[in-house]
Amino acid sequence: MGLKRSRSFGYTMIELLVVIAIIGVLAAIVLVALGGARGKARDVRRKTELSQIAKFLSASTCYIPASGIGDYDLTDLIPQLQAAYPQYAQYLTQVPVDPKSGDLAQTNYHYLVSEESHCVFYANLENENEPVTLPSLSTPTAGGGSGVLQATTDGPNGTRIYYQVGK
């Protein structure tokens, strides 16, 4: 009888490294592909939050802040709104903030009120390919209606695309 060689059934280090490299490349591709989807999802959140805030603050007439006409970050308005509408103060405790660039000090959700008592809520979107529905506007404009506009400068989220809800 001849000697039998025993062969170990395992993977070599090279084979393991190749598999790990392939998994790494696939993971990188998936992350890049999902990056755009994440930005679009944040844009949907921005639009929803702005629409809800606008319904609350401009249901019949535009809210005029104590400081008068101007452009306000939502953070600046919350204390005034809680005092002006104590029945809704419990709903104003959680301040909505921009999901990418906002925080409690600066939400990056803005409220603009004009001398003509027109108002608009607006925020900078992330999706550069968002269809522009307000082509005549190049800045968020009170009285300019609701929709998407392209500004002349980049906003806090790195694009020139803004969404506004107004009267």
| Residues contacting residue 139 through CB under 8 Å, at least 6 positions apart | 149, 151, 152
Mean pLDDT of 56-80: 85
Domain segments of the chain as ranges: 13-166
C-alpha torsion sign, points 110, 49, 146, 41: positive
pLDDT digit string (tens) for 73-84? 999 988 888 888
The residues facing 22 across adjacent strands are none
pLDDT digit string (tens) for 6-24? 566 778 889 889 999 999 9
pTM for this one? 0.78
Alpha-carbon distance of 31 to 70, in angstroms, equals 41
Burial class of 142 by CB neighbour count within 10 A (0 to 12, 13 to 18, 19+): buried
Residues 50 and 163: beta-carbon distance below 8 Å: yes
Helix residue spans in the chain (DSSP H): 13-57, 74-84
Q: Cβ atoms within 10 A of the Cβ of 10, count?
A: 7
**R_g over Cα of the chain:** 26
pLDDT digit string (tens) for 111-152? 999 988 899 999 999 999 999 999 999 999 999 999 999 999
Q: How many CA atoms lie within 13 A of 43 on its CB side?
A: 23
What is the pLDDT at residue 7? 62
| Coil, strand or helix at 73 | strand
What is the pLDDT at residue 159? 96
